[in-house]
Structure 1
Amino acid sequence: MTMSTENALPDTAQRVASLLRELGHDQPVVMLPESGRTSAEAAAGLGCSIAEIAKSIVFRRVADDAAVMVVASGSNRVDEKKVAAIVGALAKADARFVREKIGYAIGGVCPVGHLQKSVMLIDQDLLQYPKVWAAAGHPHAVFSLTPQQLVAMTAAPVADIALQT
């Protein structure tokens, strides 16, 4: 794991670093030497458990074409039926939809700084960890925060969204 100065960050990660500073967040954006596109890749690069990765999954709400983002524990699969029961019927979101509505490419979708207001939910399972890691706008960029900071930054409700296996 390498620490990068903000000027060395890719444009989208610089945008996230600036936004985090504006929000009063004191943790830096970190560039992973390898990709963090998946929870497993990010966890391996950070030396943390997969469950401590706050992965962002975007759906399209059928009723109004709004983006629905679920920030889930990296070890959980999202139960789309549980999410739909809270926010309404869902459809898959393709890469174009995610980029247009959220403003980030898949693999680096940050839970803050969206282009358009999105509907958000946070996985209740993230609350058991003292620190989690979220994408910072680029497949190699991440930042750490507490689950409480995640809830405060996003103003998203915490919900049971995990698929029970």
Structure 2
Amino acid sequence: MAIEKVRQFFKQYGMEDRIQEFEVSSATVELAAKAANCEPERIAKTLSFKKDEGCMLIVTAGDAKIDNAKFKAQFSMKAKMLTPDEVVELVGHAVGGVCPFGINEQVDVYLDVSLKRFHTVFPACGSSNSAIELTIEELEKYSGSKEWIDVCKGY
């Protein structure tokens, strides 16, 4: 189960106890905000895109949307999201619980600047009823992100 992979990932940092598991679904930004008792924009949603032979993850604020022109300027290709089956196969987590922790190797992670407005955010932890509250600095450290990018609009 993907949440166990995430729990093992955070265990190496002594942080596994910070993972929150909810009695209700946190599979969408709105549901996650209710479950975590925070504003929807503070949900750090992780989006999965095709890249050459593999994929990449972009973590954005809950109220941000991918700007296709900015995406193409950043990556020199059109934004094409993975199918749910591809997400499980290539990333290692199912849609609704995708996060940048405990993922398959060779998956590049990027953080969108839309997150920098907040002191803490709530990314998922591999299941559709989990999250962890992290500072922006912790998100940057534990996500293994390649860099901060600006590919969103609407926030």
TM-score by length of 1: 0.84
Give, in angstroms, the shift of residue 14 of structure 1: 2.1
**CA 1:87–1:119: 2 relative to 1, 3 Å:** farther
Structure 1 runs of 4+ aligned residues shifted over 3 Å read 23-27
Give the partner amino acid of 2:140: V
Provide the residue aligned with 2:118 in structure 1: 129
Report Cα offsets for 1:38-66 as digits up to 9, x if no partner.
Answer: 111100111100111000000102xx222
Is 1:118 aligned with 2:107? yes
CA contact (8 A) 1:127 1:148 kept: no
The 1:144–1:162 alpha-carbon spacing in structure 2 relative to 1, beyond 3 Å, is same
Identity among equivalent positions (%) equals 24
1:87 maps to: 75
**1:164 Cα shift?**
4.2
Q: How many residue pairs get matched?
A: 153
Show the counterpart of 1:109.
98
TM-score by length of 2: 0.89
2:41 alignment partner AA? A
Cα deviation, residue 152, structure 1: 1.4
Corresponding residue number in structure 1 for 2:39: 49
Structure 1 gaps, min length 5: 1-10
1:29·1:142 contact (CA, 8 Å) conserved in 2? yes
C-alpha deviation, 1:121, in angstroms? 1.6
Could you say which structure has the greater relative contact order, defined with CA pairs below 8 angstroms and 6 or more residues apart?
Answer: 2
